[in-house]
Structure 1
């Protein structure tokens, strides 16, 4: 009996802390530079929460959003983390890269990398917007360093990411810089998802409830695709993370069927 109890305690201790709260999503935002750099749209998570709740009836508390340093201790409390890539992003140290790689490969976590240039583009269409290609190159180089040479690949439009909840036909964003969503495959799933387009900027509203940025070239249809793709990314990341977890799979399937 003592041996069985000890085995159960070891199993419980090994579970990540988010495993005990299937009704909440602890959203991590990877830290770098100042808060205005790594979380340039701090109010947009309300819109993300609303979109998720309307789509799935899963309760999502935007206050659970937490700044996360790329360390094993801070990553272990999250199922997925976002890197909102602004021109201030320069990369991480070797130890931080190793922590991110282990969290994805061994811990089942998912990194979602999104371009986040809306505020800079609105303030100065030239200066920060002109750094987009350089930022894209830095992101790709950093991901290859984290995943030891693995290349980002275009995710097929037929992949589950584009139909995990909504049928997504576009790639959204404030400005359609790319017509593909890319990823790095870890086993049977994408452990990293990368959209160069500013998906969250397309969801951002001002204090009066008006959208802050127009979407080009597709207008409001492009904004709708942004909402749909953000919801799908969340659900793909969570169901991919939990798909082998017998505790959470029935819960998630029940929610997705509503």
Structure 2
């Protein structure tokens, strides 16, 4: 796909995402399929699909709670196919090391993230020095060499306010009471979790949870869903809440 076509596709998804997040599902001149959002689980190394149904469950919850037209199935791009994603809301999950992107893929990902795309690293291991964490840092150093190290996101970061009001991040594990990220101005297009968030969302086809939470259950798992919903909502609405320009239709849908 040529560069012009990639940009055209990305502009379509960006415009569609804004309308979709505002609750506009279809008009006389807008195709609903063009407006629908599709999550992506990035292929890399091993164990990248160890939580195969987590994003399916997340998409269902977002459709139900937020009235955003998410597609039922997620895409599965490789690291070098990210630029071709119809809607670049990217999840990269694992517990082992993985290779950084090629120079060309890093440039394309940089452009995508700076244009409103979003990348979420989800560590299934949880150790602060895990191979997955080290690989994520090396990965982002190629994308943003001027910001090689992630920063701990403050408690008042928009990610904790985009839809639900949250005090701290949750997950299947309870290893870190913070998220890390690579900020670009007011937006943080890449975020890292040490707590295996997708592991908390994973369930079989009958709806039975696949993994017990390290601490607690019940409402704690609900808090995991709320964080995941916030991530997607954040990627669609950017910093509207912080900028005091949060659209009224979105503000009415936020939940305590």
Regarding TM over 0.5, the answer is yes
Corresponding residue to 2:181 among 176, 180, 183: 183
2:51 aligned with 1:41, yes or no? yes
Aligned to 1:53: 63
Aligned to 1:164: 162
Q: Residues 82 and 111 of structure 1 are in contact (CA less than 8 Å); yes or no, is this contact kept in structure 2?
A: yes
1:61 partner SS: coil
- Structure 1 residues 130 and 81: CA distance shift in structure 2, 3 A: closer
1:68 partner SS: coil
**1:201-240 aligned within 5 A:** 201-240=199-238
Aligned to 1:5: none
CA positional deviation for 1:13: 4.4
The CA distance in 2 between the partners of 1:73 and 1:224, in whole Å, is 30
The CA distance in 2 between the partners of 1:210 and 1:46, in whole Å, is 14
CA positional deviation for 1:85: 2.8
CA positional deviation for 1:132: 6.6
- Structure 1 residues 93 and 238: CA distance shift in structure 2, 3 A: same
CA positional deviation for 1:195: 0.9
Q: TM-score, normalised by structure 1?
A: 0.75
1:156 partner SS: coil
Q: Deviations over 1:17-63 (max 9, x none)?
A: 314643411222222236xx333222222210222123212222222
Q: Residues 75 and 103 of structure 1 are in contact (CA less than 8 Å); yes or no, is this contact kept in structure 2?
A: no
Q: TM-score, normalised by structure 2?
A: 0.76
CA positional deviation for 1:173: 1.1
CA positional deviation for 1:196: 1.6
The CA distance in 2 between the partners of 1:224 and 1:172, in whole Å, is 9
Q: Which moved more, 1:226-235 or 1:91-100?
A: 91-100
CA positional deviation for 1:72: 7.4
The CA distance in 1 between the partners of 2:141 and 2:60, in whole Å, is 34
Structure 1: 5+ residue runs without aligned partners?
1-9, 118-128, 244-248
2:111 aligned with 1:116, yes or no? no
Aligned to 2:141: 144
- Structure 1 residues 16 and 253: CA distance shift in structure 2, 3 A: farther
Report the RMSD for the aligned CA atoms in angstroms.
3.0
Q: Residues 71 and 99 of structure 1 are in contact (CA less than 8 Å); yes or no, is this contact kept in structure 2?
A: no
- Number of corresponding residues: 226
Q: Which moved more, 1:203-212 or 1:185-194?
A: 203-212
The CA distance in 2 between the partners of 1:76 and 1:43, in whole Å, is 19
Aligned to 2:36: 24
**Greater gyration radius:** 1
The CA distance in 1 between the partners of 2:116 and 2:105, in whole Å, is 17
